[in-house]
Amino acid sequence: MRLPPTYTLLTHGGIRAAVRTDLADVLGPWLLAPVLERPAGAESIASGRGSAYRAQLRGGVRAVVRPYRRGGWLARVVRETYLGWRPRPLRELIATVEARRRGVAAVEVLAARVEGGLAYRGALVTAEVADAMPLIDALRGATDAGARAALARSAGSVVAAMHAAGVVHPDLNLTNLLARAGAVVAVVDLDRAGLVTPPLGAPARRRSLRRLRRSLRKLDPEGALGDAAAIAAFRSSYAEAGLPCAC
């Protein structure tokens, strides 16, 4: 795989680390250690697989570290090991950099680590989005229907921009959109993301939006957060990008 030009590949033994070039000297020794240790003071982040954490790395770099963990039934058999000659952490780095180049509000990837060959373990290091929280938490903390509608409106704009840029998010949900100060500001977790000639076709957009709607129903089964005003605000903002909402 060809890394973006602003990243450098470091190697040591069976470990590879793709690092933003200006951070290679700062993060390299930590990423190439035999065991990827949690820095002192690291704070766990609530997530479906319970492995991500935020930390201050060398040089004062604030980052979120996400060791790759399997979900679903396969996690009962093998939790951390993956197979393949094109490691998912490196693919996610490449896809995220390209998504950002296309104007998507994706979180910045600082580095990706791969340990092993055909069978490997991995981790992704991204820049921390200060004071941000998952969209579902922002909706729960919103003071009234107007605040929820504003969050939905900004989510519609961010998702529409991603679809207009030809980026397929394989797991678009209310935990993979980050909000701050009443607006959605970043997309995270582009593992296995697809990149196509813009914009996404209608079938792909419908699948993506259905996934987002299923996420809302799962996390808000009573419909208290995703009320009619919020749904209308999302649809209106999405349509302003020139893409029929199909949602």
In the predicted structure, residue 72 carries a pLDDT above the cut 80: no
Residue 90 CA to residue 109 CA, distance in Å, equals: 10
pLDDT of amino acid 242: 85
pLDDT of amino acid 84: 94
DSSP 8-state code for residue 196? -
Residue 86 CA to residue 191 CA, distance in Å, equals: 13
DSSP 8-state code for residue 180? E
Q: Let me know: does 143 contact 226? Beta carbons within 8 Å.
A: no
Residue 105 CA to residue 161 CA, distance in Å, equals: 8
CATH 1.10.510.10 for the 133-239 domain, yes or no: yes
Structure token pair of residue 26: 């700062």
CA distances from 106 to 20, 127, 134 (A): 16, 10, 14
Residue 80 CA to residue 190 CA, distance in Å, equals: 18
Residue 32 CA to residue 68 CA, distance in Å, equals: 16
Q: Mean pLDDT over residues 61-78, rounded?
A: 75
**Helix, strand and coil percent figures for the chain, each rounded to 5:** 35, 25, 40
pLDDT of amino acid 1: 86
Q: 85-136: per-residue pLDDT in tens?
A: 999 999 999 999 999 999 999 999 999 999 999 999 999 999 999 999 999 9
Q: Let me know: does 149 contact 236? Beta carbons within 8 Å.
A: no
Q: Let me know: does 80 contact 87? Beta carbons within 8 Å.
A: no
Residue 237 CA to residue 242 CA, distance in Å, equals: 10
pTM over 0.95: no
The type of residue at 31 is L
Q: 189-229: per-residue pLDDT in tens?
A: 999 999 999 999 999 999 999 999 999 999 999 989 999 99
In the predicted structure, residue 74 carries a pLDDT above the cut 70: no
DSSP 8-state code for residue 191? T
Residue 208 CA to residue 194 CA, distance in Å, equals: 12
Q: 16-44: per-residue pLDDT in tens?
A: 999 999 999 999 999 999 999 999 999 99
What residues have CB less than 8 Å from 224, skipping those under 6 apart? none
